[in-house]
Structure 1
């Protein structure tokens, strides 16, 4: 018996990528795709790439459509999950949420950054954070509860937090970063990370041949990155940039070496990342002298991490590359769902990047 799955918000870029992954997944059966705007239209009509692969038709976000699912993937805008998730959990459906609504452990921090009251703090307290390489214990606990018959909630990490945290975590957890020092992150994302609806920032004519910083000092992923990495408020300076490519995300993290620590050599730093991710099949830690690039992970749920050392500044510079729709969204959601349902975490996920 296959695991019955549905995607709420399947018309967006992350939803379409989820659709692609679940249609060919050996253990999940995609039974429902929803979009209020596209209800009644065939998947292959909206996305011709699916022609011949599926006869699914978009439905409205209706309870009856989502009834009897084992798992619902929510690829919906932030705050929308607050209205849907409690009902799905109450109906016995496990939820894998791609939005930010259940990521931040402290509801007061969520309300500060998202400007809306958190209406289901009981579920927030139970949600497992979905970044398997760094929060595997939370996911394992949720998997055990689901196996015992409980519908569980996974709040998947965002794209910027994923690339940033995977790059930086090994050095912070090893105690190599100066305590209390400012951590500086400069990250670049492809246009699909901004969502499907064209705006003055993302319309082709405005975004093409242009790179732009945005959300400087105010981006909502700031507290999420701080939470994952254990950074106190005000310690992180995060600056995202929009770059004119479809998909891909590169994050560069600059961390001051701890006072009194001997200057590390490049091989030593690379070995720290390699040991940290030795049992993480979807993270490739590169050898000294090599650094990540988005083309190496395009179309996959993999991440590449690498590191360099700036001797004069005594600065560790860690870099992470992901596909923002893959490891940054849909691929990570499937990886988390695999874990929750007791499958191999790589099942249904390709490790082969798009070559050109």
Structure 2
């Protein structure tokens, strides 16, 4: 039996990536795509690449359009999901939210970083955290709730936090890390959303790389929450003239005991064991480093590892496609788990070779 799905905010970059994935999914049936500004416009008028794959047209936002859905994916801006999630859950619809509105478990932290009052803080504990490789138990719990007749709420992890946390988590959870963790991450322009700004307009972004949100980026508390390192993350994002991709370089200071006793071979084996059952994460051979081009269009994460010359710093580098593993693909991966499907269903496509 097919699972009826809808996408709110389907005209944006993450939303249309969801359309691309779900139209080819063997079990989810995409029935509704919404956009107030484009209501009545066929999806393929805006995105001709989908000709022959969908005949849907955008519909206005609203619960009525989504009433027959089993699952709704929210590809809306931060702070916009809160106005929709409670009603969707009340209607018995499971929600997969790509925004930040339910990721942070502390409403005060959310309000401080997003400068907006959280209107449904009671749902923060209900929300499963949508990063399957690190929070499998959350998604198993959500799957149990749905099976028992209660709609699930999944707060899908952000793109920078996904890339960064997958690179850092094995070392952090093995208690190898001491002190402040430094993150330098580079994103393609689609990560900034569809609406052009003075930063993302072609003429400003092309042939230029810049740091932004230095010391203030809102993904910082999410990374700290995922890794369990409150106040120990210094995160600096950079914008590069790419369409897709995130490359996150994470500098992890090793505690004194492990700095003396751990070789790169030991740490590499730790990482391989940690991700042995996670088909979307590939730990590259020692001496190899990931590239964004190697994961573009896929739900994969590639991780490369190195030690500093002094042996006291682990450098973990990860690459993901920000629109896929960093957004739409990860949401579908979570939905597969919640609806009892193999988590790779509909996500087996390889990266674009060139």
TM-score (norm 2): 0.98
Q: Which has the higher mean CA deviation after the structures are superposed, 203-212 or 259-268?
A: 259-268
Aligned equivalent of 2:174: 174
**Alpha-carbon offset, residue 265 of structure 1:** 1.9
Cα distance in 2 for partners of 1:265, 1:281 equals 25
For residues 22-101 of structure 1, the aligned pairs below 5 Å read 22-101=22-101
The 5 A counterparts of 1:1-356 are: 1-178=1-178, 181-233=179-231, 235-261=232-258, 262-312=260-310, 314-356=312-354
Output the CA distance in 1 between the equivalents of 2:313 and 2:62: 52
Per-residue CA shift, 1:104-162, capped at 9, x if unaligned?
A: 00000000000011111111110000000000000001101101110010000000000
Q: Which runs of 5+ in 2 are unaligned?
A: none
Q: Could you list the runs of 4 or more consecutive aligned residues of structure 1 that deviate by over 4 angstroms after TM superposition?
A: none
Name the SS for the 2:41 alignment partner.
coil
For structure 1, list consecutive stretches of 5 or more residues without a partner in the other structure: none
Larger deviation, residues 294-303 vs 310-319: 310-319
Task: Give me the whole-angstrom Cα distance separating, in 1, the residues matched to 2:42 and 2:55.
Answer: 7
The alpha carbon displacement at 1:314 in A equals: 1.1
CA-CA distance at 1:351 after TM superposition? 4.0
8 Å CA contact 2:301–2:319 kept in 1: the answer is yes
Distance in 2, matches of 1:302 and 1:338, equals: 16
Q: Distance in 2 between matches of 1:297 and 1:95?
A: 27
Partner SS, residue 118 of structure 2: coil
Structure 1 278/351 Cα, relative in aligned 2: closer, same or farther at 3 Å? farther
Paired residues of 2:320 and 2:326 also in contact (CA < 8 A): yes
- Determine helix, strand or coil for the equivalent of 1:126: coil
Task: Please provide the CA RMSD for this pair.
Answer: 0.8
The answer on whether the counterparts of 2:187 and 2:238 sit within 8 Å (CA) in structure 1 is yes
Q: Is the 8 A contact 1:266 1:289 kept in 2?
A: no
Q: How far apart are residue 263 of structure 1 and its match?
A: 4.2
Q: Which moved more, 1:113-122 or 1:285-294?
A: 285-294
Residue 313 of structure 1, CA deviation = 6.1
CA distance in 2 between counterparts of 1:216 and 1:275 reads 34
